[in-house]
Amino acid sequence: MSPLDVRISDCAGFCWGVERALEMTYQAAEEAPAPVNTLGPLIHNPGVVADLRARGVGVVSDAARIRGGTVILRSHGVPRDTREILDGCDAVIIDATCPFVTAAQQKAARLKEDGYLVVILGEPDHPEVLGIRSYAGEDSLVVESPGDLPAKLPGKRIGVVVQTTQSEERLAELVAGLAPRARELLVHNTICNATQQRQSAATAMASEVDAVVVVGGKESGNTRRLAELCAAKQPRTYHVESPEEIEPRWFRGLRTVGVTAGASTPPLQIEAVAAALRRIDP
């Protein structure tokens, strides 16, 4: 049998926001006052975090313990109170928050100021969502679907913001669930265009191949979402972080396999997985 026909999605891997954060971090590693640390992992990709560590960039988890040096705010952003702590310390602060995340924070704050109950579509414990919620107020709600909404909403003027890596389908479901229950509903679609492009390209490809491999960190929300969307089109969808996780038995009797990757996955990791797939004799 011929080797697998491996097709890489037209839109896969690093987005502009991640590339920007990495460039800022690489520059800081060379020029900024030491020690240089990111507050939490810069992005949800173990390989990238390991590479940064080799370049002398560490990871700290508690802003209150920072003393001097340089601190890089990761692409997911930080909660408002964390930023206030950092502004009061003696470290150099480099803000690598993705501008799309910053926009979601600002829209959440404006909704709160204007008297809306803010509903955030996203993963409750995700760093980006925790940051957005800090601007949306303590009475804000975080949901992943309409089923997560309380039986009685604490307000009738409702504003919606979205974790930047959510899907349009989930947003549409939430809006449909909120509309009959709100007197006024203001929706800010803060899904970034890179997320939309990757999801559209990946699902189109998943409909045309015998299997899909999604490459990226297991903690990456946008990568997990890609895997979910691809699995809905092609049940033989596998989420891996590295070529070592690939099982040849997954592809027995198959002809074509599509490869896509989350916005925090570097090109070298995508190519490494594609090369491993090309070596499989199905």
- As annotated, the active-site residues are 128
Provide the CA 135 distance to its chain's centre, in angstroms. Answer: 19
Q: Which two tokens stand for residue 171?
A: 């947003």
Beta strands at 157-162 and 184-187: parallel, antiparallel or unpaired = parallel
* CA–CA distance, 133 with 32 (Å, rounded to integer): 31
80-87 and 127-136 are packed helices; what angle lies between their axes, rounded to 10 degrees? 90
Check if the beta carbon of residue 69 is closer than 8 Å to that of residue 91: yes
One DSSP character per residue, 47-88 reads HHHHHHHHTTEEEE--GGG--SSEEEE-TT---HHHHHHHHT
Check if the beta carbon of residue 178 is closer than 8 Å to that of residue 149: yes
Go through 52-88 and write b for each residue having 16 or more CB atoms within 10 A of its CB, e for each that does not: beeeebeebeebeebeebbbbbbbbbbbeebbeebee
* CA–CA distance, 171 with 190 (Å, rounded to integer): 10
Evaluated on CA atoms 158, 149, 127, 61, the torsion sign reads: positive
